[in-house]
Structure 1
Protein backbone atom coordinates (compact mmCIF):
# COMPACT_ATOMS: atom_id res chain seq x y z
CA UNK A 1 0.00 0.00 0.00
CA UNK A 2 1.20 3.52 -0.78
CA UNK A 3 1.94 5.61 2.28
CA UNK A 4 -0.94 7.98 3.10
CA UNK A 5 1.57 10.85 3.56
CA UNK A 6 2.03 11.10 -0.24
CA UNK A 7 5.80 10.53 -0.08
CA UNK A 8 5.62 8.15 -3.05
CA UNK A 9 6.99 5.32 -0.87
CA UNK A 10 5.17 2.30 0.47
CA UNK A 11 3.69 2.56 3.95
CA UNK A 12 6.04 -0.22 5.12
CA UNK A 13 9.15 1.78 4.14
CA UNK A 14 7.82 5.20 5.09
CA UNK A 15 5.59 5.87 8.12
CA UNK A 16 4.93 2.35 9.46
CA UNK A 17 8.30 2.07 11.30
CA UNK A 18 7.47 5.31 13.16
CA UNK A 19 3.93 4.16 13.98
CA UNK A 20 5.23 0.85 15.34
CA UNK A 21 8.03 2.45 17.40
CA UNK A 22 10.83 0.85 15.38
CA UNK A 23 12.41 4.26 14.85
CA UNK A 24 11.68 7.94 15.39
CA UNK A 25 11.06 10.54 12.71
CA UNK A 26 14.42 12.22 11.94
CA UNK A 27 12.99 15.65 10.99
CA UNK A 28 9.98 17.83 11.72
CA UNK A 29 8.70 17.17 8.19
CA UNK A 30 9.01 13.39 8.63
CA UNK A 31 7.09 13.66 11.90
CA UNK A 32 4.42 15.80 10.27
CA UNK A 33 4.03 13.27 7.46
CA UNK A 34 3.81 10.40 9.94
CA UNK A 35 1.15 12.26 11.91
CA UNK A 36 -0.91 12.79 8.76
CA UNK A 37 -0.62 9.06 8.10
CA UNK A 38 -1.67 8.40 11.70
CA UNK A 39 -4.91 10.31 11.05
CA UNK A 40 -5.44 8.33 7.83
CA UNK A 41 -4.78 4.88 9.37
CA UNK A 42 -6.00 6.01 12.17
CA UNK A 43 -3.63 5.75 15.14
CA UNK A 44 -4.63 8.06 18.00
CA UNK A 45 -2.02 6.59 20.32
CA UNK A 46 0.82 7.61 17.97
CA UNK A 47 -0.68 11.09 17.66
CA UNK A 48 -0.64 11.48 21.45
CA UNK A 49 2.86 10.00 21.78
CA UNK A 50 4.23 12.49 19.24
CA UNK A 51 2.59 15.51 20.88
CA UNK A 52 5.05 17.46 23.03
CA UNK A 53 4.62 16.16 26.61
CA UNK A 54 3.80 19.57 28.10
CA UNK A 55 1.03 20.03 25.50
CA UNK A 56 -0.67 16.62 25.88
CA UNK A 57 -3.12 17.95 28.46
CA UNK A 58 -4.71 19.97 25.62
CA UNK A 59 -5.48 16.79 23.62
CA UNK A 60 -6.77 13.30 24.19
CA UNK A 61 -6.15 10.06 22.35
CA UNK A 62 -9.84 9.26 21.88
CA UNK A 63 -10.62 12.56 20.12
CA UNK A 64 -7.56 12.23 17.88
CA UNK A 65 -8.56 8.66 17.01
CA UNK A 66 -12.15 9.73 16.30
CA UNK A 67 -11.08 12.62 14.04
CA UNK A 68 -9.06 10.12 12.05
CA UNK A 69 -11.94 7.65 11.88
CA UNK A 70 -14.77 9.98 10.87
CA UNK A 71 -12.85 11.62 8.02
CA UNK A 72 -11.31 10.19 4.87
CA UNK A 73 -7.77 11.58 4.60
CA UNK A 74 -6.93 11.80 0.92
CA UNK A 75 -3.83 13.93 0.32
CA UNK A 76 -1.01 15.78 2.04
CA UNK A 77 0.71 18.74 0.43
CA UNK A 78 3.82 20.27 2.01
CA UNK A 79 3.74 24.01 1.25
CA UNK A 80 7.00 25.15 2.83
CA UNK A 81 9.44 24.63 5.69
CA UNK A 82 10.34 28.11 6.98
CA UNK A 83 12.92 26.57 9.33
CA UNK A 84 13.81 23.17 10.80
CA UNK A 85 11.09 23.50 13.48
CA UNK A 86 8.13 24.47 11.26
CA UNK A 87 6.14 22.90 8.44
CA UNK A 88 3.32 24.52 6.52
CA UNK A 89 0.99 21.99 4.96
CA UNK A 90 -2.45 21.33 3.53
CA UNK A 91 -4.23 18.15 4.55
CA UNK A 92 -7.07 17.23 2.22
CA UNK A 93 -9.92 15.11 3.54
CA UNK A 94 -13.60 14.34 3.14
CA UNK A 95 -15.60 14.94 6.32
CA UNK A 96 -18.27 12.67 7.75
CA UNK A 97 -20.92 14.55 5.72
CA UNK A 98 -19.11 13.73 2.46
CA UNK A 99 -17.89 17.31 2.01
CA UNK A 100 -14.29 17.91 0.81
CA UNK A 101 -12.21 19.89 3.30
CA UNK A 102 -8.71 21.37 3.47
CA UNK A 103 -6.87 21.76 6.76
CA UNK A 104 -4.16 24.41 6.15
CA UNK A 105 -1.73 24.82 9.03
CA UNK A 106 1.68 26.10 10.00
CA UNK A 107 2.87 23.61 12.63
CA UNK A 108 5.57 24.10 15.23
CA UNK A 109 7.72 21.16 16.30
CA UNK A 110 10.32 20.77 19.01
CA UNK A 111 13.12 18.30 19.52
CA UNK A 112 13.62 16.76 22.97
CA UNK A 113 16.01 13.89 23.75
CA UNK A 114 16.66 13.38 20.02
CA UNK A 115 12.94 13.01 19.25
CA UNK A 116 10.67 15.39 17.36
CA UNK A 117 7.29 16.35 18.80
CA UNK A 118 4.32 18.37 17.58
CA UNK A 119 3.87 21.47 19.77
CA UNK A 120 1.12 23.57 18.18
CA UNK A 121 -0.35 24.71 14.92
CA UNK A 122 -1.68 27.94 13.48
CA UNK A 123 -4.62 27.58 11.12
CA UNK A 124 -4.19 29.43 7.84
CA UNK A 125 -6.83 30.41 5.30
Structure 2
Protein backbone atom coordinates (compact mmCIF):
# COMPACT_ATOMS: atom_id res chain seq x y z
CA UNK A 1 0.00 0.00 0.00
CA UNK A 2 1.44 3.38 -0.96
CA UNK A 3 1.48 6.47 1.22
CA UNK A 4 -1.37 8.97 0.69
CA UNK A 5 1.03 11.64 -0.57
CA UNK A 6 2.82 9.31 -3.03
CA UNK A 7 0.90 10.62 -6.09
CA UNK A 8 2.04 14.13 -5.15
CA UNK A 9 5.66 13.01 -4.79
CA UNK A 10 5.53 11.19 -8.12
CA UNK A 11 4.07 14.26 -9.85
CA UNK A 12 0.80 12.49 -10.72
CA UNK A 13 -1.32 15.03 -8.82
CA UNK A 14 -1.08 18.28 -6.88
CA UNK A 15 -2.08 18.52 -3.23
CA UNK A 16 -5.67 19.81 -3.21
CA UNK A 17 -5.14 22.15 -0.25
CA UNK A 18 -2.48 23.61 2.01
CA UNK A 19 -2.91 20.98 4.72
CA UNK A 20 -2.33 18.10 2.31
CA UNK A 21 0.69 19.89 0.87
CA UNK A 22 2.14 20.37 4.35
CA UNK A 23 1.60 16.68 5.15
CA UNK A 24 3.25 15.69 1.87
CA UNK A 25 6.24 17.94 2.61
CA UNK A 26 6.72 16.29 6.02
CA UNK A 27 6.60 12.92 4.25
CA UNK A 28 9.12 14.19 1.72
CA UNK A 29 11.54 15.06 4.53
CA UNK A 30 11.07 11.55 5.96
CA UNK A 31 11.64 10.00 2.51
CA UNK A 32 14.58 12.33 1.75
CA UNK A 33 12.78 13.59 -1.37
CA UNK A 34 14.61 16.90 -1.71
CA UNK A 35 13.44 17.46 -5.29
CA UNK A 36 9.82 17.48 -4.09
CA UNK A 37 10.70 19.87 -1.28
CA UNK A 38 12.21 22.24 -3.86
CA UNK A 39 9.24 21.87 -6.21
CA UNK A 40 6.78 22.74 -3.45
CA UNK A 41 8.51 25.97 -2.40
CA UNK A 42 6.56 29.03 -3.48
CA UNK A 43 8.36 31.21 -6.06
CA UNK A 44 8.50 33.97 -3.40
CA UNK A 45 10.23 31.74 -0.82
CA UNK A 46 13.76 33.05 -0.13
CA UNK A 47 15.39 29.71 -1.01
CA UNK A 48 14.09 30.10 -4.57
CA UNK A 49 16.57 32.97 -5.08
CA UNK A 50 19.44 30.46 -4.75
CA UNK A 51 20.56 27.84 -7.28
CA UNK A 52 18.25 24.83 -7.26
CA UNK A 53 21.11 22.29 -7.12
CA UNK A 54 22.57 23.92 -4.00
CA UNK A 55 19.23 24.04 -2.19
CA UNK A 56 18.31 20.47 -3.13
CA UNK A 57 21.69 19.22 -1.89
CA UNK A 58 21.23 21.09 1.43
CA UNK A 59 17.65 19.85 1.86
CA UNK A 60 18.73 16.28 1.19
CA UNK A 61 21.57 16.52 3.72
CA UNK A 62 19.21 17.98 6.32
CA UNK A 63 16.61 15.27 5.71
CA UNK A 64 19.21 12.51 5.91
CA UNK A 65 20.49 13.80 9.26
CA UNK A 66 17.06 13.59 10.92
CA UNK A 67 14.32 11.09 11.72
CA UNK A 68 10.63 11.99 11.39
CA UNK A 69 8.49 9.81 13.67
CA UNK A 70 5.25 11.74 13.52
CA UNK A 71 3.20 14.78 12.64
CA UNK A 72 0.12 16.28 14.29
CA UNK A 73 -1.93 18.91 12.51
CA UNK A 74 -3.20 21.32 15.14
CA UNK A 75 -5.26 23.56 12.89
CA UNK A 76 -5.71 24.84 9.38
CA UNK A 77 -7.25 27.91 7.80
CA UNK A 78 -8.57 27.93 4.24
CA UNK A 79 -7.34 30.65 1.90
CA UNK A 80 -8.27 34.19 2.90
CA UNK A 81 -9.17 36.97 0.44
CA UNK A 82 -5.49 37.38 -0.47
CA UNK A 83 -5.10 33.64 -1.20
CA UNK A 84 -3.02 32.90 1.92
CA UNK A 85 -3.79 29.58 3.64
CA UNK A 86 -2.31 28.57 7.02
CA UNK A 87 -1.54 25.30 8.75
CA UNK A 88 -0.41 24.84 12.34
CA UNK A 89 1.39 21.59 13.07
CA UNK A 90 3.59 19.81 15.59
CA UNK A 91 6.44 17.98 13.85
CA UNK A 92 8.31 15.28 15.71
CA UNK A 93 11.93 15.39 14.53
CA UNK A 94 15.05 13.78 15.98
CA UNK A 95 18.73 14.24 15.18
CA UNK A 96 21.13 11.60 16.51
CA UNK A 97 18.58 10.74 19.22
CA UNK A 98 18.10 14.37 20.30
CA UNK A 99 14.60 15.75 20.18
CA UNK A 100 14.45 18.61 17.66
CA UNK A 101 10.64 18.71 17.47
CA UNK A 102 8.87 21.97 16.80
CA UNK A 103 5.54 23.67 16.22
CA UNK A 104 5.17 25.74 13.07
CA UNK A 105 2.53 28.02 11.66
CA UNK A 106 3.08 27.72 7.93
CA UNK A 107 1.80 29.99 5.20
CA UNK A 108 0.94 28.64 1.76
CA UNK A 109 -0.13 30.19 -1.54
CA UNK A 110 -1.26 28.69 -4.79
CA UNK A 111 1.11 29.50 -7.64
CA UNK A 112 -1.29 28.72 -10.48
CA UNK A 113 -0.17 25.09 -10.61
CA UNK A 114 -0.51 23.99 -7.00
CA UNK A 115 -0.19 24.93 -3.37
CA UNK A 116 3.31 25.97 -2.35
CA UNK A 117 5.09 26.63 0.95
CA UNK A 118 5.68 30.36 1.37
CA UNK A 119 7.06 30.77 4.91
CA UNK A 120 6.62 29.70 8.49
CA UNK A 121 6.98 30.76 12.11
CA UNK A 122 8.63 28.02 14.16
CA UNK A 123 8.58 27.56 17.94
CA UNK A 124 10.31 24.97 20.07
CA UNK A 125 8.12 23.22 22.67
CA UNK A 126 10.26 24.59 25.52
CA UNK A 127 9.47 28.15 24.36
CA UNK A 128 5.71 27.65 24.39
CA UNK A 129 3.43 28.67 27.27
CA UNK A 130 1.36 25.46 26.89
CA UNK A 131 1.93 21.92 25.59
CA UNK A 132 2.23 21.94 21.78
CA UNK A 133 -0.81 19.72 21.28
CA UNK A 134 -3.07 22.29 22.96
CA UNK A 135 -2.27 25.11 20.54
CA UNK A 136 -4.59 26.44 17.86
CA UNK A 137 -4.01 28.96 15.13
CA UNK A 138 -5.58 31.58 17.41
CA UNK A 139 -3.39 30.74 20.40
CA UNK A 140 -0.08 30.19 18.60
CA UNK A 141 2.40 32.81 19.90
CA UNK A 142 3.64 34.35 16.67
CA UNK A 143 5.90 36.95 18.28
Q: Give the alignment's TM-score, normalised by structure 1.
A: 0.84
CA deviation profile, 1:27-77 (whole Å, cap 9, x unmatched): 000000000000000100000000012321268111111111110100000
Match of residue 18 from structure 2: 28
Unaligned runs of 5+ in 1: 2-9
1:40 matches 2:30: yes
Deviation at 1:82, TM superposition (A): 3.3
Matching residue of 1:73: 68
- 2:101 counterpart SS class: strand
Aligned to 2:58: 63
User: Is the radius of gyration larger for structure 1 or structure 2?
Assistant: 2
CA change 1:48–1:94 in 2 (3 A) is same
Which structure: greater strand fraction?
A: 1
Q: How many residues get paired?
A: 114
Gaps spanning 5+ residues in structure 2: where?
A: 80-84, 129-143
